[in-house]
Structure 1
Amino acid sequence: MSRRTSLALAAVAVVAVAASTASSAGAAPATPAPRAAACTPTLPPGTQTVPIRFAGATTDVQVFVPSHRPTRVPLVLDLHGSSSNGPTQAGISDLKAVAEREGFVVANPTAAIELPPTDPPLAGGSWAWNVPGVPTTAGQFPPAGARDDVAFLSALLDQLGAAACVDTRRTYATGYSGGGRMASALACEVSDRIAAIAPVAGLRAGRPAPDEVSVPEVQGCTPREPVAVLTFHGTADGVNPYDGSDDLRWGYSAPVAAQTWARLNDCRTGPLRTTLTEHVTVTTYTRCAGGADVEFQRIVGGGHTWPGADEPEGPLGPITQEVDASETMWAFFEAHPKHV
């Protein structure tokens, strides 16, 4: 049994317990899936580049399509962190391996705000997302005319949805760091299109209040529909601090972000805290509107890193191997299709 598979067993167990708790507590039952319209996919299996048309330009997006797939296939947007790019993020998360086994599509788009190159430089360059209302890691607000990334990613969903025959009830988003903040923004801005999100080291619930960054701005996140949330955050994260910062780019703490999503989703049970492993505790909120549960995995001593990533430890801190974010999030996504 591989390390990734063994870690997945614990992840699935946590999701199953949460789902059972929600069901026994009277959570909203799953509604039957509507009859899907006929669709013929035009994308072959494997990793490929798909051109996405937006605002008069064409952007190439790395996409992985599994070799076996249902008539309507789930889609996971996997968004890179600041000073990174789509193909680099695909290597960090390795969601392709999970997608091939489980039968879902993964899209790894690249942002459009150019940042100074890393040392050593990344193939594909260093880029940042235009997260609504906040500065980039460079400390500046996006320049006038910067690509509207909520609109761009919505266009991606439209075009990739048609080409891959995506199930609109099973469209999800994850992201690392700045990509987690961007995935959070999608849940706030286009909640009707996203069933669940799973940010790593980047969950937000709208931008920090400019006059009091320790809390979210009330009008900063007003989803029209509930969106299920799973997040992972290390207590030793030095980039997006677990306990928050005085920076408008980050602001309030990771627990406050999860609590705010529990409020936005009208969760009626929680927080319920359990111990998953020696250094990982899980806080869950259930009996939420539309079955949109909220789950927060706190990693004691974890850095600004992707849990379970198969890469050497670097300047961003420890990488826990006690939980596998990629396996865990798919178990969560699979349990949380759109119910409304």
Structure 2
Amino acid sequence: MSFIKAYIEQQTISRRNLLLLSAYGLGGMATMGALRPRGARAAGSAPPIAWSYRDRTDPYWNAIVSGGEAFVQSLGLPRSALINLINEGSSEKSLADIKAVLSRYGSGVALAADTNDAPNCRPVVEAVSRAGAYVSTIWNKTDDLHPWDFGDHYVSHMTWSDVGPSEQTARLLFDAMGGKGGVVHLGGIASNNPSIERLAGLKNALKAYPNVELPGVQAADWDTQKANQVMSGFLTRYGDGIKGVHCASDTIAYGVIEALRAEGIETMPIVSYNGNPQAVDLVIKGKILATVFNNPYWGGGITAALAYYAATGVFRPSAEPKDHREFYGPTVMVTATDARDFKSKYIDGNPTYDWKDFWGLSKGQIQYKA
């Protein structure tokens, strides 16, 4: 498990460097050259393409941005043409960076964004709409916010239906526990839609397992180091009563595994989410029972593509049906029986995608609870 320690150390170094750069006014998008003086965009020229996301040190977000870069390259542009807006898990920074890009480039911007939490999506969309730019979002928005209420400028929103897959992994976990004992859940940021849905999936599964208890639920903010601390606290509090761990992401699972190893525990059943390369290797080795893959590479590329092709007039969002404006992305549960084949297809190399096939992998329109 040496890679987990190395992963935690690399996260620490990367974040420290980013904070140091930010302190000198060189961090975030300025680091990427987004605010360097440039001339006005000529009529008919390609619009600037930006991706606003949490942190590229996380393998999931690295895959998202890699997909965005692949799309940019499909236009004949260098990867460096993608403007990276790194919000570091801050909704305030997310909104400030997006407003700065809009101020610099105006109506031409094609923006792909995860707004960090659901409430922040509305001010982001309103700022983009006022500027006459175009935005496609993923993961986080409130249920009352819809692209079709903003004409063409709020192009689309994609999320993943996490309740069902999370319930599947929970059932697998409970079976590995012999259908009894305590399970703890480590979540992401509490206000994040995926964090909410993955906990809901766990609770759904509990209904069919009366002898499984849930003594501990705590947010780990998608962070490996915080997950390590949270799991250590759970072990102190509940001790041998913990028989399994339900993690809202792979990066959380890495911290959990390290906390368990520190106590000499090597066989605790664990499930996680995201299908990161390291997690798939751990599934192959039997250290994680299952992870759920939602194809972040495709998600990152197609979200940027939707914003770009709306900005360039290839399609008109307001003319599209609602299931093209709000839709679910694909998910695949990865277990030991199929992990090697999965790794060969999705990790050893990325499939080639048609970035104009916007809804080819869509799993239908987003459904809301009444």
Q: TM-score, normalised by structure 1?
A: 0.37
Structure with higher helix content? 2
Structure with higher strand content? 1
Q: TM-score, normalised by structure 2?
A: 0.34
